[in-house]
C-alpha cells in the first residue's frame, strides 16, 4: 500500500486543470492513466466506485453546446457518488441572460452548491483563468474558447497509447481547422511534453493554419511541418486526427460564405483511409461535418468511438485525483515506482 510519502505524488490534488500547460512531463500522465485503467476495470465489472466522491459536490456549467464532454463529466461525477449540479445552456437559462458576469456566476455556484470542484465550458479563451481566479475550489476546463480543451487532450493521448502502445516516435497528422479548433492545440502541447521524437504534420488550407503564437509554444519542444493537402500524410502518419471547420466562429464574424467554401476542404474518405498504414489510427473529437465520411466508420483504424469511452474513465480519474488526496490508497492500488 502506498505510504504517507506517496500523497505528495498526487500532482492534481486540489489544483485547477484549465490548461495542458499544467502537464510538465510524463509524471502527471503516469499518475492519471493507471487510475483511469483501474476505474474502467471496476466500472466494466459493475463494481461500486461510489465511495470515491461520496459527500463531494461537483458543479458542471456549460455555456456552449456539447454532447460528449457534458455527458461524460456528468456521468463521471455521478458514478463516483458525487452530488452533481449540471447546467447546460448557461447563456440562456441562468442569470447570464440578465448580464451576470463570469466571476459572479462562479462565486454564486461555489456557494449555492457548496461545490468542491467546478467544470466549465465557455466561449472565451481566458475563461478558465478567470473562473479559477474567482473560484474558491478547483476549476476544470471542459473547453475554453479557441484555446484549450485539456481533458480532451488527456483522453486523446490515452486513446493513442491504448491503440498503439507507445507515446514515442509517432507521426501525428492534425487536419482541418487548426485556426479555431481547440482540441488539436491542447493535444499538440501535450505531445510536446510527453513522449520522445514525435512529429506533427499540421494539415489545413492556408486560411485555417494554426496561429503563429500557438506554434511558437511548440518551437524547440516538438518538430512540426505545415501542409496544405492530406494526400502526402496518408501513407506515413501513425495517427490522423481530423477536426471539423468551426462554423460558429465564422458565423460570429459574419463570414459564413468563407465557412461554406472551407468546410469540406480537408476530407477523409473511405478510400483514403484504406491507404493508411496497417496499424495507423484515425481520430476525431466529434461532432463531425463533411470532413469525416461515414464510410470511414467501418475501417478498423477508426478510434473516434473509443475516444468517448476513454473520455469517461479519464475524466473520472481526473475528478478523483483533484478531489482526493491519495486515490491510489483509496482504490487499493500500488503506485508504480518504475517511472
Nearer to ligand NCD, 199 or 258 (CB): 258
C-alpha grid cell, residue 287:
461532432
**Complete edge-to-edge strand list for the sheet that includes strand 199-203:** 223-227, 199-203, 171-175, 239-242, 281-283
Taking alpha carbons only, the member of 179, 176, 192, 274 closest to residue 230 is 176
Considering only 128, 195, 285, 327, the residue that binds ligand NCD (CB under 6 A) is 285
**Residue 37 burial by Cβ neighbours in a 10 Å radius (0-12, 13-18, 19+):** middle
Is 197 an active-site residue?
no
Nearer to ligand NCD, 113 or 267 (CB): 267
Binders of ligand NCD among residues 123 to 152 (CB under 6 A) are 143, 149, 152
Q: How far is the CB of 139 from ligand NCD (least distance, A)?
A: 17
CA separation for the pair 211, 193 (Å, rounded) = 19
CA separation for the pair 68, 121 (Å, rounded) = 12
Residue with cell 499544467: 22
Binding status of residue 286 toward ligand NCD by CB under 6 A:
yes
Q: Are 317 and 32 in contact (CB under 8 A)?
A: yes
Number of residues that bind ligand NCD (CB under 6 A): 11
Q: Count CB-CB contacts under 10 A for residue 203.
A: 26
Nearer to ligand NCD, 200 or 283 (CB): 283
Binders of ligand NCD among residues 13 to 32 (CB under 6 A) are none
Nearer to ligand NCD, 105 or 152 (CB): 152
Is 149 an active-site residue?
yes
Q: Count CB-CB contacts under 10 A for residue 334.
A: 11
CA separation for the pair 31, 332 (Å, rounded) = 14
Candidates 3, 46, 98, 338; catalytic one: 98
Is 98 an active-site residue?
yes
Q: How far is the CB of 152 from ligand NCD (least distance, A)?
A: 5
Q: How far is the CB of 13 from ligand NCD (least distance, A)?
A: 25
Nearer to ligand NCD, 57 or 243 (CB): 243
Active site residues: 68-69, 98, 121, 149
Name the site residues for ligand NCD (rule: CB under 6 A).
68-69, 143, 149, 152, 182-183, 243-244, 285-286
Amino acid at each position: 500500500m502506498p505510504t504517507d510519502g506517496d500523497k505528495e505524488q498526487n500532482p492534481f490534488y486540489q489544483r485547477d486543470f484549465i490548461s495542458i500547460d499544467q502537464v510538465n512531463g510524463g509524471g502527471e500522465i503516469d499518475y492519471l492513466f493507471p487510475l483511469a485503467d483501474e476505474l474502467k476495470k471496476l466500472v466494466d465489472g459493475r463494481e461500486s466506485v461510489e465511495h470515491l466522491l461520496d459527500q463531494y459536490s461537483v458543479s458542471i456549467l456549460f455555456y456552449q453546446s456539447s454532447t460528449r464532454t457534458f455527458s461524460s463529466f456528468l456521468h463521471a461525477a455521478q458514478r463516483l457518488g458525487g452530488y452533481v449540479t449540471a447546467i447546460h445552456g448557461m447563456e440562456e437559462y441562468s442569470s447570464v441572460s440578465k448580464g451576470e458576469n463570469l466571476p459572479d456566476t462562479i462565486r454564486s455556484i461555489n456557494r449555492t452548491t457548496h461545490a468542491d470542484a467546478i467544470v466549465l465550458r465557455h466561449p472565451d479563451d481566458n475563461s478558465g483563468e478567470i473562473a479559477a481566479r474567482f473560484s474558491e475550489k478547483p476549476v476544470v476546463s471542459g473547453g475554453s474558447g479557441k484555446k484549450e480543451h485539456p481533458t480532451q487532450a488527456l483522453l486523446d493521448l490515452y486513446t493513442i497509447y491504448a491503440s498503439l502502445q507507445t507515446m514515442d516516435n509517432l507521426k501525428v497528422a492534425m487536419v482541418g481547422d487548426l485556426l479555431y479548433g481547440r482540441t488539436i492545440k491542447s493535444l499538440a502541447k501535450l505531445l510536446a511534453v510527453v513522449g520522445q521524437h514525435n512529429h506533427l504534420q499540421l494539415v489545413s488550407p492556408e486560411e485555417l493554419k494554426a496561429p503563429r503564437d500557438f506554434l511558437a509554444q511548440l518551437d524547440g519542444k516538438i518538430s512540426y511541418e505545415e501542409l496544405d493537402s492530406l494526400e502526402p500524410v496518408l501513407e506515413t502518419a501513425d495517427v490522423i486526427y481530423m477536426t471539423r471547420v468551426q462554423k460558429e466562429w465564422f458565423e460570429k464574424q459574419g463570414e459564413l460564405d468563407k465557412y461554406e467554401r472551407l468546410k469540406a476542404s480537408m476530407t477523409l474518405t473511405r478510400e483514403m483511409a484504406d491507404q493508411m498504414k496497417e496499424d495507423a489510427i484515425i481520430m476525431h473529437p466529434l461532432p463531425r461535418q463533411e470532413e469525416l465520411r461515414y464510410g470511414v466508420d467501418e475501417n478498423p483504424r477508426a478510434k473516434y468511438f473509443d475516444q468517448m469511452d476513454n473520455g469517461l474513465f479519464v475524466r473520472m480519474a481526473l475528478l478523483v485525483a483533484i478531489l482526493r488526496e491519495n486515490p491510489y490508497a483509496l482504490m487499493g492500488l500500488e503506485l508504480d515506482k518504475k517511472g
